[in-house]
Chain A
Amino acid sequence: MQTAKFQSSNDAGVLSANQGSVSGNAVASSTGPSGLPEATKQLAKSQLERVGKYITGFCAALVVLVVVSLIFLVAQHGLSTFFVDGINPIAFFTGDTWNPHNTGADGMPLVGALPMIVGSFSVTLLSCVIVIPFALGAAIFAVEINPTLGSKILRPALELLTGIPSVVFGLIGLMVLVPWVRSWAGGTGYGILAGSLVLAVMVLPTVTSLAIDALESVPATYRQSSYALGATRWQTIWHIVLRAALPGLLTAIVLGMARAFGEALAVQMVIGNAAIIPSSLTTPAATLTSILTMSMGNEAMGTVYNDVLWSLALVLLVMSLVFILIVHLIGRKSVSNNAQ
C-alpha cells in the first residue's frame, strides 16, 4: 500500500495550491514507503503551466498587436486624404481622372480612383471566371475520378505551382502572354486580359486545393446512396456532391478572388499601368496594387499624392476584410442550413 504523495513528498499538496493548505494533511492512515521518492526541487507544476501559458499567450497577443497596428496605421494615413486634405470621398471613389499632381476645376487635386477600382475588380472577376472550370475540374478529378493520380501527381503539381514566386509569373506574362495577346488582339498586348490570365494561373492552386477540401468533406454516404439509386458517377457528382459542397466551393472562389485582388507585382508587370478606365480587355489599364507599387516610392510622405496612395492601400485592406466577411457569412449560412 502506498502513501498518498500529497501527504509525503513535495509541499505543493493536492489541496494546498493557492488556497492555503488544509492543516493535518495526513488524514489517510496508510503507511509505508512513499509513492514516489522525494522529487528534486523543480518548478511547481502549476507555475510551469502558467509560464507556458503566458509565453505562448504573449506570442498570440503580439500577432494580434501587429494586425491591429497595421489596420490602424493604414487607416490613419488612408483617411487623412479625406479628413486632413479635405478631398471629397465621392470624388475619390467616382472620379475617373487620376492625376494627383494637377488640380481640377474645383481646385482640388485630381484623385479619381475609379480607374484603378474598376481595373482591380475587372481582373479579379475575369480571372475567377477563367479559373473556375479548371479548379473545379481538377478538384473533381482529385476527389471523385482518380484520387491516386490526384494525390500522386495533381496535388504535388499544385503545391509546386503555389511555390512559384509571383514575379516569375509576371515575367512569363511579360515575355509570353503579352506578345501573344498583342499578336492575337492587336494593341500593345498589355491590359486586363493579360493580367487576368496571369492571375488565373496564380490563384488556380489556391482555389483548387480549397475546392478539393470542400469535395472531400462531403460524406461518402451521400455518394453511396446516389449510386445505390442507379445514378452514374457524373450524375452523382453534379447533383449530389457539388450541391453538398457548394458553400465550400464558394469559399474557395472568394478566397481566390481575395488573392487575385491583392496581387501586386505580377499584375503590375503585364497590365500596362495606365490609370484610365479601360475601354477594352486589351488596352493598358491599372489596378490599385499596380499604382501603389509604381508610385509609393516617388512621393514624399505627407503630400496629398502620398495620402491618396494610402487611401488606395486602405481600399485594398478593406476589400480583403470584406472577402473574409463573405467567407464567414457563407460558413454561417451553411451551418444554419445543415442544422435545419
Chain B
Amino acid sequence: MMNFGSKASKLEVVGDKVADLNVTVDGTIMRTKDVGVRYNETYKALRDVSLNFDRGQVTALIGPSGCGKSTYLRCLNLMNREIPHCHIDGEIYFHGKQINFKDVNVYDLRTQVGMVFQTPNPFRKSIYDNIAFGLKKHGIKDKAYIDETVERSLKQAALWDEVKDKLKKSAYALSGGQRQRLCIARTLSLNPEIVLMDEPCSALDPIATRAIERTILSIASRGIAVIIVTHNIEQARRVSDKTAYFYLGEMVETGDTSKIFTNPDDQRTADYLDGRFG
C-alpha cells in the first residue's frame, strides 16, 4: 500500500529535474508535488497539492463545487495549459520525470494520460472513426491494427456488443451513456497508463452510471491508474481505492477510501461527508 505524499524524502536531485528512483517499487506512476494553478498571474485557484497515484488503483477527488478538484485533474495531462492566462506551478512526475516544464511533449503525454470529460463528447464522426481517428493522427496506418484496436477498446469500455453492427453509424445516434463509454473507448485505444475522468457520470442516468462505474473498475483491473473527479460521494465510495478531499483550492486530506469515509482526520472532511455543506 502506498502513502500519499510521503515520497518526498526519497527524492534525488538530477540537474534541475528531480528523479524519483523508487518510482516503480510500489507502482507509483504519477506524483505531484506542490502543484498549484494561477489565473492571470495572481488568482490562485489551487494551492500546493501533493498526491501519488498508483497503477491499477482508482483515486477519487471529491469536494464541493469550486474546490479545485477539476482544476487539479486538468494539471495531470497539462490541459490547463490550453486555457489562456492559466499557469501551472509545482512539479508533476510521470514515470519519475518532471513533466511540468515549457517545451514538454504534451502530445505524447496525453496519449498516455487519457481524459474523459463531464459532457460525453464524441467527435461528429462514425463510431468506428471516433476511435480510428486518434490512432491515425498518431501515425498508425496499419488497418488491421486499427480494426483490432477499435474492437478491443470498445470491449474494454463494455460497448462492443451494443455497437458492433453499426460501427459506421454516427456516434450521435448513441444514447448519452453509450456516448460516454465510446469516449472511454476512444481514450483506451491509445493504451494510456492513466485515465483521468472529470465527473464522467454527471450527465447520465443511474443505469448508465452503473455501467460506467463497472467500466472504471475493469479498466483499473488492467493496471491503469484511474483518477476520477466526482460530485457524488457514494460513487467515490463505490469505485475508489483512495480518496482525496479538496476544499477551497486546497487538498485537505487523503488516504484509503475506507479510512476517509469512516474516520477522517480533518473536521472539514467529516462535515462534507456528513452532508453539512457542498
Check A300 for interface membership: any CB of B closer than 8 A. Answer: no
Question: Which one, A1, A15, A28, contacts B104 given CB within 8 A?
Answer: A15
**Which residues of chain B are near A36, meaning CB under 8 Å?**
111, 135, 138, 140, 190-191
**Which residues of chain B are near A41, meaning CB under 8 Å?**
139
Given A2-B191, A14-B94, do A28 and B23 touch, yes or no (CB 8 Å)? yes
Let me know if A15 and B111 touch, CB within 8 A.
no
Question: Which one, B17, B96, B140, B142, contacts A28 given CB within 8 A?
Answer: B96
Please tell me the size bucket of the interface on A: 20 to 34
Check B105 for interface membership: any CB of A closer than 8 A. Answer: yes
Question: Which one, B24, B29, B109, B141, contacts A40 given CB within 8 A?
Answer: B141
CA distance A39 to B108 in the complex (A): 12
CA distance A231 to B212 in the complex (A): 49
Check A4 for interface membership: any CB of B closer than 8 A. Answer: yes
Min CB distance B22 to A, Å, is 11
Min CB distance A164 to B, Å, is 35
Let me know if A45 and B105 touch, CB within 8 A.
yes
CA distance A15 to B109 in the complex (A): 9
CA distance A13 to B111 in the complex (A): 12
Given A14-B109, A16-B105, A28-B24, do A4 and B95 touch, yes or no (CB 8 Å)? yes
Check A29 for interface membership: any CB of B closer than 8 A. Answer: yes
Q: How many residues of B contact A (CB 8 A)?
A: 34
Please provide the chain B residues from 131 to 181 with a CB less than 8 Å away from any CB of chain A in the complex: 135, 138-142, 145
Check A93 for interface membership: any CB of B closer than 8 A. Answer: no
**Which residues of chain B are near A45, meaning CB under 8 Å?**
105, 107-108
Check A90 for interface membership: any CB of B closer than 8 A. Answer: no
Let me know if A15 and B145 touch, CB within 8 A.
no
Check B103 for interface membership: any CB of A closer than 8 A. Answer: yes
Check B35 for interface membership: any CB of A closer than 8 A. Answer: no
**Which residues of chain B are near A12, meaning CB under 8 Å?**
105, 108
CA distance A239 to B17 in the complex (A): 63
Min CB distance B31 to A, Å, is 13
Task: Identify the interface centre among B14, B96, B142, B193: most chain A CB within 10 Å of its CB.
Answer: B193
Please provide the chain B residues from 58 to 104 with a CB less than 8 Å away from any CB of chain A in the complex: 94-97, 99, 101, 103-104
Using CB atoms, name the residue of chain A closest to B17.
A22
CA distance A36 to B110 in the complex (A): 13
Please provide the chain B residues from 221 to 240 with a CB less than 8 Å away from any CB of chain A in the complex: 223
Question: Which one, B23, B99, B106, B140, contacts A39 given CB within 8 A?
Answer: B140
Using CB atoms, name the residue of chain B closest to A2.
B191
Question: Which one, B101, B105, B140, B193, contacts A37 given CB within 8 A?
Answer: B140
**Which residues of chain A are near B270, meaning CB under 8 Å?**
none
Please provide the chain B residues from 8 to 46 with a CB less than 8 Å away from any CB of chain A in the complex: 14, 17, 19, 23-24, 29
Let me know if A14 and B105 touch, CB within 8 A.
yes
**Which residues of chain A are near B14, meaning CB under 8 Å?**
22
Using CB atoms, name the residue of chain A closest to B145.
A37
CA distance A19 to B103 in the complex (A): 7
Interface string of A1-34 (1 = CB under 8 A from B): 1101111001011111111001000011110000
Let me know if B101 and A19 touch, CB within 8 A.
yes
Check A42 for interface membership: any CB of B closer than 8 A. Answer: yes
Given A15-B99, A27-B95, do A35 and B104 touch, yes or no (CB 8 Å)? no
Using CB atoms, name the residue of chain A closest to B21.
A27
CA distance A188 to B225 in the complex (A): 85
**Which residues of chain A are near B140, meaning CB under 8 Å?**
36-37, 39-40
Interface string of B183-205 (1 = CB under 8 A from A): 00000001111000000000000
Min CB distance B168 to A, Å, is 24
Min CB distance B178 to A, Å, is 25
CA distance A39 to B146 in the complex (A): 12
**Which residues of chain A are near B105, meaning CB under 8 Å?**
6, 12-17, 45-46
Interface string of A35-62 (1 = CB under 8 A from B): 1110111100110000000000000000
Q: Supply 10 further A-B pairs (C-beta < 8 A) apart from A14-B97, A36-B190.
A: A6-B105, A12-B108, A14-B108, A14-B109, A19-B101, A36-B135, A37-B142, A39-B139, A40-B141, A45-B105
Which residues of B approach A to under 8 Å, CB–CB?
A: 14, 17, 19, 23-24, 29, 55, 94-97, 99, 101, 103-109, 111-112, 135, 138-142, 145, 190-193, 223
Which residues of A approach B to under 8 Å, CB–CB?
A: 1-2, 4-7, 10, 12-19, 22, 27-30, 35-37, 39-42, 45-46
